[in-house]
Structures are given as C-alpha cells and as structure tokens.
Structure 1
Amino acid sequence: MRQMLTKSAAAAAALFAAAAAAPANSGSLDGDIVRIEVLDGGMTPRGTHMGALKITLQPGWKTYWRAPGDAGIPPSFSWRGARNVGALSITWPSPEVFMTSGYRTIGYHDQLVLPVEITPENPGKPVRLKGRMQLGVCKDVCVPAELKFDHQLDSNSGRNPAIAAAMASRPWSAKEAGVRAASCSLRPSDYGMTVTARISMPSAGGEEVAVIEPGNPKLYAGETKTRREGGQLVAETEFLPADGKAYAIDRSQLRITVLGKSHAVDIQGCSAG
C-alpha cells in the first residue's frame, strides 16, 4: 500500500511540474481537451455571491474528485489575483467511481460544474474571481492541465440552472441519509494508522464505495475497503504520513463519503469506537 501511494504521489508531482514548466493556458488545454469558464449565479439571500467553475472535457475524457483514488490526481486551486473575497466555499457534486488499469479512481466525465460561494470582504462592492486550477485529465493517457480564469461576478445575474443542478447533485448530509451513528476505531499499522469506521445507515444503493479523508494535508489516505454487515456499513483505510513523521488523528476532522447507486452521503466526523 505504501509503495502504491508513493508512486501515485510521485506521478502527480511529475505531471504538475510539467504543467508549471509550460506556459499557462488561458481557459483551455491544447486541442481543447479541457476548457474552463466562470458561471454567474447572482446573489443569495445571505448576501453571498454564487458562481461556478465549469470544466468541459472532450468526450471520453475524465477528471478527478477532491479524493481521486489510488491512481488519480487531486485538483488544486490558486485564487491569487481574486478581489473582494473574504471567504470562499466549494461544493463538490457527487462523483463517479471508475476502474482505470486495475485501480479504482473517483471523478467526473465530460463535464464538471463546481459551485463556488463567495462571502465578499466589502459587501456591495464588485467581486472578481481570478486564479488557476491544476487538474489531471485522463482517457488513454493522463495529461496535466493548468487553466486560468478571470471574471468579475455579475451580482444582478439570476438563478443559473447549471449551478442549481450541481448543487442538487451534492451528496446527502448524514441527517438526510438517515445515518444513526458513525464511530471510528484507530490502530497502528506498519507505516501509519489504520482507521475502521462503522456507520449505522440505510443502503445508498447497489455496491457502496466509502472514502475516508483524514482532514490533515500531511496525511495520505489509502484505498478504503467497504463491506456491509446488515444495517451497518464498515469501511477501513490506512493513513500514511507524507513526510514520515507521526501525526495525531482527530476523529472530528475525518470526512467519510459513501458513494452508492442511488445517492452519495457526506458524513462529517465520527465518535470513538
């Protein structure tokens, strides 16, 4: 497991190093394999601005979710140059599970609309959404993309159907999914820490795939093995330190996503168990 994760991390680093060495593309990758644009979503009743990053891929190409799986490349963002952004929140639509060369990866095909909600630093003044998104895109081969975006949000824009659809496709909350309890036990492994989550919840439909995220950027998470024991879903993974150092694991920061045929479920934190 440790060797596999190290190779995946090294591959991601090599791809993004190549992207950084090349001139940044303004909105698209060569051949228009992938394009990016900013969508306007107007103002919310809370006084925040809604927008979205729309990533369009050529047919057959895919990109990755925030936790991409064994061989995937996690996307990253830079918001340098953005103006009047006090806080920013991204909503990830429910992803798909793919098998790529024998590895399980998690992401999206053809298109991804990524809603972004912005709390302005100075209410009433324009908000400029500017930055770069680094991502991996794959078909028969995987290539890096570094896409620039720069757009002043239109506060008078009305409801955007594409943003509304992306928001509606987010994973259900634990409450919405009928999660009754979620506990996590920890035990040392050869190179890190094994986490076993036991979740009392109805089925999400079909074959369920769980992903456990550590909530700590200094830890890598391996593939999560998932099984059903009646009304309880059991998920187990191993957290490995990126730098070889030991780190405490805060159960309240763990994030468990269950991907099922009917819906996905987002569970924030778990109790000791």
Structure 2
Amino acid sequence: MKALTSLATLLLLSLPVGGAGADIQIASEVESIQPGVPFTVALHIVPDKNYHTYWKYPGIVGLPTSIKWRLPEGFKAGEISWPAPEIVDMAGHPAHGFRRELLLLVNITPPEQIPASTVTISGELAWMACYKECHPGFATRSIILPVNSAPEPRYHRKWAAPIKKERDALPRKSTLWEVSVESDPDETPVVIRVRPAAGASNNPGQVYFFSEDGQITSEPAQKARRQADGSYLITGTRSEFSPQGRTTLPGTLVASGSWAADKPLAAFRVEPPYPEK
C-alpha cells in the first residue's frame, strides 16, 4: 500500500534482529468440514507485552496483517473481516491498530466434492508488531481438518465461542446516526457530519473516523467538535497517498462510549457519498 511506504520503509531499514513482537496461528471454528459448506477460520494474533499490531489501513505508519492462502484445489477464501481498531502510538506517530489479542475472521468455501479424508488449510502470514521498536513477522501456518458428510457442523470446543464473540462484535451499518461528507472529492481537509437519529445516544463520548481505504491519514490528528444541533463535525487531513476519484468515503466510526442510547454500540461502518458537483 503506497500510503504506508514512507515511514514504514524507514522503520524496516532500522529494525532490530530477532523477535516478531507477536505470534499468529490459524484457528478453525469447526472441528471438521463438510463438502460445499462454508466455514470460518481465524488468524489468532497474540501480541507480546506492550506491543500492538495493525489494522487494514494503519495510517501514517505500520503494515496490516495479511495472509497469502495455500488452499486445496477448489477451495476459496474470502477477505479478512476486520474488527474496529483503536489509536496506537509508534514513536510519537498515531496509527490504527490493536493492542489486544484478537481473531481476524476469514470465511472459506470448499467445493461440493472433496475426495480426500483430510484437508490442509495453509497460508503465508506477514505482520508488523511495534512497541518502542518494530518487528516484522513472517511465518507459514497450517491446520489439518477432517472431512465429514454429517448434516450438521461439529464446532470446535476451544475456538467456536471466541470466534462467535469476535464475529458478533464486528462493526456493521447502523441507522442510529446519519453520516454525510461535507467536502468535495480529492480535497483536503475531509469534513464528515455525523447527525443523531432516533435511538442515538446523547453522549457517545470521544469519536473518531477510521478511514478504510486510506483517504484520511492518521497524522495530523482528526478534530471532532459537537455542534449545537447535537451532530458531530469531524475534520481530517487527506493523505498525500489517498486514492483519487473516489465517490464514497468508507470507514468505521468509533466512540469511547456507546453510539446507541439503550445498548452497547462502540463502532459502526459507514460509506457516505461525496456531494455531487
């Protein structure tokens, strides 16, 4: 990603030898798979103490966790489902990532016929974990799963529950807040209006817009101001590496409290269009 090359390249050139800052393994929601039935695997990320890893768009510094799958013939892997990130710090530079242990979920669809009795799900992982210094990590990970023709899936006793918990917490679209872009495409600053609707919280706390495709950089810091009508006006700086000509602004809105008045809702996804010229 071009948006990451400037500062990330400098960090890579001065990285210490040894240690990856995090460990990543592949976990499966099911103990065995069924022909033609999609199932979920997860990249289980455990950072070392004080370390963080990075979101799909890390911002001014960092590299996102990625995997190049090696799957049996006929198997197809979907994209990573990304949890809501948080602001992390690398050498005084704010970025987008995770300080916690997490599961990055990926749906895999097997073919209708599987001749083997077991299959190997494998992939080449790459990540970066940072604290006072950064460690790039590279590893090949695999799991072997039996094939069965049972009418119901057999869920993994260890991993099914945490994978479900992570899935349930994924940010989704919401009607509680109306989001619009009040600046023109390719211009800076980028101005976002977040207006409460029925059921919205009166005080969601501190709010932040995480740009999913790198249109808004993580540095300088965004400014979010509450307006007299209860809406938020969020102003961010367009990245010098921002993709050009986009008609929408995809991202995740995160609050320190809850966006909802009657239930927890820390994050939701949006993709408001730019104003038509």
Quickly name the TM-score band, shorter chain normalised: 0.7 to 0.9
Match of 1:39 among 27, 39, 45: 27
Deviation at 1:138, TM superposition (A): 1.0
C-alpha distance in structure 2 between counterparts of 1:111 and 1:89, whole Å:
20
Tell me the residue number matched to 2:135.
143
1:249 aligns with 2:246: yes
Equivalent pairs, count: 244
Structure 2 length normalisation: TM-score?
0.72
Residues 152 and 200 (structure 1), Cα distance of their counterparts in 2 relative to 1, 3 Å cut: farther
* AA partner of residue 185 (structure 1): E
Alpha-carbon deviations, 1:28-75, whole Å to 9, x = none?
x9546422211111269x931111110112222111111223333333
CA distance in structure 1 between the aligned counterparts of 2:146 and 2:195, rounded to whole angstroms: 44
Q: Distance in 2 between matches of 1:17 and 1:85?
A: 37
Aligned-partner SS, 1:115? strand
Equivalent residues of 1:51, 1:153 under 8 A apart: no
Paired with 1:154 and 1:53, the residues of 2 have a C-alpha distance of 19
Contact 2:217 2:237 in 1 (8 A): yes
The equivalent of 1:26 in structure 2 is none
* Equivalent in the alignment of 2:57: 67
Alignment pair present for 1:123 and 2:112:
yes
**Does the Cα contact within 8 Å between 1:56 and 1:112 map onto a contact in 2?**
yes
Q: Once superposed, what is the RMSD of the aligned Cα atoms?
A: 3.4
Cα 1:104–1:242 change in 2 (3 A) is: closer
CA, structure 1 residues 195+85, in 2 after alignment: closer, same or farther (shift >3 Å)? Answer: farther
Q: Taking structure 1 as the reference length, what is the TM-score of the superposition? A: 0.73
**Any gaps of 5 or more consecutive residues in structure 1?**
1-5, 20-28
In structure 2, what is the equivalent of residue 233 of structure 1? 232
What is the match of residue 269 of structure 2? 267
Larger Rg: 2
Structure 2 alignment gaps of length 5 or more: 148-152, 258-264
Amino acid at match of 2:273: S
Shift of 1:220: 5.0
Q: Is 2:225 aligned against 1:199?
A: no
Q: CA deviation at 1:101?
A: 3.6
Contact 1:210 1:225 in 2 (8 A): no
More helix, by proportion: 1
Q: In proportion to residue count, which structure has more strand?
A: 1
